[in-house]
Amino acid sequence: MKLQRKNRLRALSLGAVAVSGALALTACGSDDNGGGSGSSTSSASANASSIKCDGAKGQLLADGSSAQKNAIDAWVKNFSQACGVQINYKGSGSGAGVTAFTQGQIAFAGSDSALKPEEVTASKKVCSGGQGIDLPMVGGAIAIGYNVPGVDNLVLDAPTLAKIFDSKITNWNDAAIKKLNPTAKLPNLKIQAFHRSDESGTTDNLTKYLIATTPSNWKYSGGKAWQAKGGQSAPQSAGVAQQVKQTSGAIGYFELSYVSDGIKAASIDTGASKPVAPSTASATADIAAAQVVGTGKDLSLKLDYKTKAEGAYPISLVTYEIACDKGNKADTLPATKAFLRYIASEDGQKILSTIDYAPIPDEIIAKVRTTVEGLS
């Protein structure tokens, strides 16, 4: 079943690339081409008549979060077929996306972390009379993917995870892992821990979880850049997933849609009655408790990384689309607004749960829809 879903998503990705091919020839392509589980064609295809193009035309350049790349590919396929707009979303990582946005190189960015104050300030130079704002569009679980022969149902907790990624637990039959997995046949095998080489909102969210839940074992300040000792690195979510898939003893982190054949995902012991596996439902349970902390038109959220709620997966993320509230470029505003309107719509959000993402909760996405209508 996973292989079938993977093949279907690859077909979606190829469709998106075909639509934006002419533009892709003139822009640097991403080496993050997706590669996780996906949906059926019928469930990922929206009714084209429900997409409001409203004068959208031409081409859009966008970049950012690789965690949402698989969702963007599905959305681009539908939107481009309906409106004829060419969209090239590179998926180079949240850091690269925010930088490109604040330098005026792209129409909108995707980021798994909300804009920092200095990034908001920088955005005012390209948003004439306005500034960049965070619009939550995609939710998801950050899976702790692993490749350990003979181990199908691994359980980890925050302290153990922190020690693994900080090179303080280096073998799969370590006593701390055994304690969490008393019936598992843990091999005498070296742990190969992989992290992101690029600045990543996924890294930021994972480390926020570790800082919040086990500060004595994770003494780094956090952020988009990886700070811990040791380990190996790879670019974008697809790069880390590929390394985990092909390396015996590997462990890494990436959005759930990148879990595929050859990769299993660990459950997390949160202190609830039983460990929680990453899924659309468990991520939704966590994100539903998020609070809007942005001001004005900004809708950045605060997640509860310390949740012990039954069935709530604590290592979740929300990807924001970042656009100017005012001062968008006249030649890209109609297409940007129409695309963001579509992905925030009921049809757009419905796609997410079919490709291992979590839709944004109703109360929050309603605010996003209102804000998108006011973009100028």
List, for residues 222-264, the tens digit of each pLDDT value: 999 999 989 999 999 999 999 999 999 999 999 999 998 889 9
Name residue, tokens 């605010």. Answer: 367
pLDDT of residue 16 exceeding 60, the answer is no
pLDDT of residue 90 exceeding 90, the answer is yes
Confidence of residue 41 (pLDDT cuts 50, 70, 90): very low
Can you tell me the mean pLDDT for 339-343? 98
CA-CA distance, 22 to 30, in Å (whole number)? 15
Q: Where are the alpha helices (DSSP H) in the chain?
A: 2-19, 21-24, 41-44, 69-83, 94-102, 117-123, 158-165, 175-180, 201-213, 236-246, 280-287, 333-344, 346-354, 362-373
This prediction's pTM = 0.84
CB-based contacts of 160, cutoff 8 Å, min separation 6: 169, 176, 177, 180
Phi-psi region of 150 (alpha: psi -120 to 50; beta: other; left: phi over 0): left
pLDDT of residue 307 exceeding 50, the answer is yes
pLDDT of residue 165 exceeding 60, the answer is yes
Predicted local confidence at residue 270, as pLDDT: 98
Name residue, tokens 């979510």. Answer: 237
pLDDT of residue 14 exceeding 90, the answer is no
Range scoring the smallest mean pLDDT among 51-55, 86-90, 141-145: 51-55
Average pLDDT of the chain to the nearest whole number: 89
pLDDT of residue 15 exceeding 80, the answer is no
Range scoring the smallest mean pLDDT among 21-25, 55-59, 324-328: 21-25
List, for residues 75-85, the tens digit of each pLDDT value: 999 999 999 99
CA-CA distance, 310 to 231, in Å (whole number)? 32
Predicted local confidence at residue 23, as pLDDT: 32
Predicted local confidence at residue 49, as pLDDT: 59
